[in-house]
A and B are shown apart, each in its own frame.
Chain A
Amino acid sequence: MTEPTPASPQAIEALRDEGPEAPPRSQWADVWRQFLRHKGAVLGGGFLIFVTLAVLFGPYIWTLDPQQLDIRNKDVRPIYTVLWNGDATVSWAHPFGTDNLGRDQLAQMIAGGRASLAVGWAAMVLSVLIGTAIGVAAGFFRRLDGPLMRLTDLFLSLPILPLLLVAVTLFRQPLRANFGPEGGMFILIVTVIAITSWMPTARIVRGDVLALKEREFVLAARSIGTTSWKIILRHLLPNVLSPIMVSATLGLATAIITESALSFLGVGFPSDFPTWGKMLADAVPRMVDFPERVMLPGIAISLTVLSVNYLGDGLRDALDPRIRGR
């Protein structure tokens, strides 16, 4: 990665040169230009921006309260159902329909997206940060390897359910007192998901670092007196970026789903607080009669994860000097 030599033209598809050399420009402009070439990444990024804006500002446009019950208007189908079923109960007041207690699904999707995305991103970022830090430290510093990896073994072995129950018993009351019932639960959920999911990232990063630190370029860097900190930042981290990206993408999906499992166990948000994962889980028993109730949150989760995946692909390509700038 430190030697940006162009690949030979007859090499594999991904490495082929396209067009003439561009005139010199700044590194970040190059990164941006390369990123824009990746259609998936642009689409993914666009979708993420759209979803984020929708969940942030949606409640101001679609002002129905997601927790408001309207039992007379329960089980309303989404508006598009009319296309093939003229008899379906639909209403423009509820374009995505309502659930079995008459809660508006569009409002639930917006509010649920807010919670799911917040939990998903926060837990994923935290977990990847912990995992990467521990993985790099263990792989790079031989003395830390043993203790840190045994710690990883310990965390891998801990049974999650009792851990959750202990965390709730010990921390719910203080967190609730300081941050309110929802804020407190948010912190608890994010922390719990993060500390139970960083271990694979740590082991993967460590494995890669073990191999990388014996490579010539690290040796070269060390021989000219580069500090360990600089070596890690400049030479190791960029090279373990792709497994981290994969971990992050998978981690986001896992975090969104895990959150729903937690609220099922009564460890998560209050039961009337919608999240995508919980909407999906609640709708499974009725999926034959009301497929949209599983489809809407399911598609939202999938598209978000796909977008993050493409975004990660695009970012990685854009940051790779071997591909970029040609």
Chain B
Amino acid sequence: MLTYTIRRLILSIPTLLLISFVIFMLLQLAPGDPMAQVPLTVPPEVKEQMRQALGLGEPPLVQYGKWLWQVFVLEPQVFIDWLTRDTMLFGWLPDTNLYAGELRVISWQTRSPVMDIVIQRLPQTLWVVGLAYVVGILISLPIGIYSAYRQYSVFDQAGTFVTMIGFSIPPFFTGPLLIVIFSVQLGWFPSIYDTTHVVNDWDSFVFQLQQMIMPVMVLALQTTAQFSRYMRASMLDNLRQDYVRTARAKGLTEAVVVNIHVLRNSMIPVVTVIALGVPAIFGGAIITENVFKVNGIGQLLITALFANDLPMVMTLTFIFAFLIVMFNLIADVLYGVLDPRIRYD
């Protein structure tokens, strides 16, 4: 398993390079122009000068090479400098000062380093999207297990009904619906998320909860629906297997049979789906973030896409690609842990 993991890790480097190249070429091919949001009153010659100033005149391969250099050399330098300068963990080390002021990956919209904005956006993204994911998992797994154990019971039927309806109603509808009910009619929660809010006492914590509750609900509904369906289906398959009968025959309690034996064997599809979902946390939730004005990474990506801010789109997509490759690797390793019969070598 260890050699497999190491081999995969090494292999992931060319994979990621290939992915980044494909993404880059895709973005080059895609129609779009960073000048699209500049008003029509600005004449075309001026727009052309602005494009030149952004470096759009260079051949694509040169642009790609520059981007690679910035992401793989300059950004890590900045990061290490930051670690040794400002963090508790490595602050005791001497300041490294690796970064010497070269041009980092600069967003075309904001003319500021992309990574700084990403880091600025992480807190609200993790608070809202990450929490919704955790809540979704915590609710969905028990629902899935119990629904399978008591298949076609009232609980199972109700669960199926609610989750399927929840899944088939898109967030662009549930979001405004919640706002109309809870912000406009009842006035309980703010409809606009305050990203500058700082939690430092009980009241501010309560406010944070209030402003998070609606986006988390919308997102958790989708996650719950999806995971509980896979959990239930997989549990149902395994509950019918012979080993379950054997375990019961051995005199194991139902709790042990279901929660240890069956559950462990049913986790493979669920682990796959959960691992596929984790990079999406960092990807943010484009529609939900937009509806509640959470302005996390999802909103960052979509505004960058609409503004054709290629360095930003490229860097964000690459971060997601990295996370996807890593979490799929983790899922593969977990398969081996869950089912020792699985061998890759």
Asked if A and B touch directly (CB within 8 angstroms), the answer is: yes
Q: Which residues of A contact B (CB under 8 A)?
A: 3, 5, 7-8, 11-15, 40, 142, 145-146, 149-150, 152-154, 156-159, 161-163, 165-166, 169, 199-200, 203-204, 207-208, 210-211, 214-215, 239, 242-243, 245-246, 249-250, 253, 256-257, 260, 277, 280-281, 284-285, 287-288, 294, 298, 301-302, 304-306, 309-310, 320, 322-323
The 0/1 profile, CB within 8 Å of A marked 1, for residues 136-166 of chain B is: 0000000000000111110001001100110
Q: Contact: A203 with B331, CB < 8 Å?
A: yes
Q: Which residues of B contact A (CB under 8 A)?
A: 11, 15, 18-19, 22-23, 26-27, 29-32, 149-153, 157, 160-161, 164-165, 167-170, 172-173, 176-177, 180, 225-226, 229-230, 233-234, 236-237, 239-240, 242, 245, 248, 268-269, 271-273, 276, 279, 301-302, 305, 313, 317, 320-321, 324-325, 328, 331, 335, 339, 341-344
Q: Contact: B272 with A159, CB < 8 Å?
A: no
Q: Contact: A294 with B173, CB < 8 Å?
A: yes
Chain A residues, CB < 8 A from B173: 280-281, 284, 287, 294, 298
A152 to chain B, nearest CB (A): 8
Chain B residues, CB < 8 A from A210: 268, 335, 339, 342
Q: How far is the CA of A5 from the CA of B187 in the complex (A)?
A: 60
A12, A154, A288: the one contacting B239 at CB < 8 Å is A12
Chain B residues, CB < 8 A from A304: 168
Q: How far is the CA of A11 from the CA of B305 in the complex (A)?
A: 55
What are 13 A-B interface contacts by the 8 Å CB criterion?
A8-B245, A11-B245, A159-B313, A200-B272, A210-B268, A210-B342, A242-B236, A242-B237, A249-B164, A249-B229, A284-B176, A302-B165, A309-B164
Q: Contact: A242 with B164, CB < 8 Å?
A: no
Q: Contact: A200 with B273, CB < 8 Å?
A: yes
Chain B residues, CB < 8 A from A163: 26, 30
Q: Contact: B273 with A13, CB < 8 Å?
A: no
A149, A166, A323: the one contacting B30 at CB < 8 Å is A166
B313 to chain A, nearest CB (A): 7
Chain B residues, CB < 8 A from A166: 26, 29-31
Having A157-B324, A207-B335, A284-B172, one finds 7 other A-B pairs with CB under 8 Å, namely A3-B242, A153-B328, A169-B30, A203-B276, A208-B268, A302-B164, A320-B240
A152, A154, A165, A288: the one contacting B31 at CB < 8 Å is A165
Chain B residues, CB < 8 A from A11: 245, 248
Which residue on A lies nearest to B30, using beta carbons? A162
Q: Contact: A301 with B169, CB < 8 Å?
A: yes
Chain B residues, CB < 8 A from A203: 272, 276, 328, 331
